[in-house]
Structure 1
Amino acid sequence: IRGRTKEAEELWKQACQKYDKSVQLNWTSPQALNNWGLALQELGAIVPLKEKRAIVKVAIKKFRAAIRLRFDFHRAVYNLGTVLYGLAEDTLRSGRRPSTHEGSAPELYSASAVYIAAAHSLKPDYSVYRSALRLVRSMLPLPYLKVGYLTVPPIGNPLAPHSDWIKQWFVLDHEALYQMEKVDQRSPTLGASSSPSKAPEGSHTRRVEVHDIVCVSPTADLSLPPGGCFVVDTPSGQHFMIADNWEAVDGWVDAIRLVYTIFVRGKSEALATVLTA
């Protein structure tokens, strides 16, 4: 059996090399990047455990690169969700403590659910996505797609000194990215059908409507506070936001861009159903 596994390992390595050459010839092909990620995912499933994590991390980069080229490429979106789910399972089984830049098992499960929910929203009629969503939906921070702390400048003063920037709790749903007071959803006072109240749209708080988004991208501006940074461009101006690290930036940028893509494709109702049904 080991001989056959070794042979399969060599074949998958050859496949990865061929996809590498394919991407070099056509670096704008999301399909080639997606296939490369799949080959790496298969390779990771048969190599010794000590080698697997590094290979899986490269697969994640390939799927993410494919998505960044075409955010409506639902297959790559789904594949990124599945590889993150597998990484979460491995992390949970190993019992190892993740490093600062590695997500914990719950964080990886939640990240996986974001991509699978997005893939389902883009293609609600795909039975594979629907089945996967049933498995991971409870891992989302419902009724939101993504939540977390981001450091932002005071409203109306984007050039404020670094010392004036404040760490705030942000949530992302099918309508907007907005700041709100954090509520512990594990609290027994918050029932399964309950949800934290939204910040009123007209209130003096930071809120970016999905339909107002022009662009979302990471940025490495040395004038900004330390940490991973991304910027959300809107007709009314730019919103600079600082995450704890660049891995967190990737998660936020992908989630916001996916929600925007779902909106543009007229699928917001499908995502709303995932988050609120």
Structure 2
Amino acid sequence: MNKLEQLLPKLVLAPAFILGLAFIYGFMVWNGVLSVSVSRMLPNYEFVGLAQYERLFEMDRWWVALKNLAIFGFLYVGLSMALGIFLAILLDQKVRGEGFIRTIYLYPMALSFVVTGTAWKWILNPSDGLQKLVQDMGWTSFTFDWLVQSDMAIYCVVIAGVWQSAGFTMALFLAGLRGIDDSIIKAAQIDGASLPRIYWRIVLPAMRPVFFSTLMVLAHLSIKSFDLVMALTAGGPGYATDVPATFMYAMSFSRGQIGLGAASATIMLATVAAIVVPYLYSELRKKP
């Protein structure tokens, strides 16, 4: 009976473990196999080595997607963290109605990126959104048509992404701030240190683990920005706001280039692994 009780949890978890192993890691391996094949409309397992990767890095559209990912990732992560820590410090002052304000800040994170992208597409539409509203109010010279400008549209994606994630980063930083011993701050105040100096010299350096965790989460989200881009710009104008995720989708499902799409997906997987693996290592390694 004791042996059965010991085996029962393993037997219950075994089907989910096997299915997860097959449908997650199995498909990762299959994607890697397709990326070194001549697959086009349908899988074709004729081995071609790194030919698909060579084609990939010879395409201007792929380089545009990488450039957009760099722009979006840097601004999305940087602005979300800056705005999040700013809001967290404000709420850390024990303001009245903190619970209500915190809920307002966190609300955008309850929405999916599809909803966020659609809403901001309406807001930034030059014909019906913010530009038309301001012009109807009398400022006829006001223009804000970034959404239809190929060199500025990616910044609209940044705006929508930061709007959604700033409250989430605020919650992470606020939890970190509340975990710092108040006696340290009071001792610094007794020594005559100003509040900004206390945060800059004492509080923020003590929150390095929170900064690192937030950085990892946001960097991961920036790479998986497919739904936000598709809902807001669909990769346009043209392919001006393409990111690797939308590039992979277009190659695999719209242009029938499965091998090329698999190669781009493998590059994305490697990028995510380069971000996540060091984080997991730092979190899971045993302390001396």
TM-score of the pair, normalised by structure 1: 0.25
Q: Which has the higher contact order (CA 8 A, sep 6+)?
A: 2
TM-score of the pair, normalised by structure 2: 0.25
Richer in helix (by share): 2
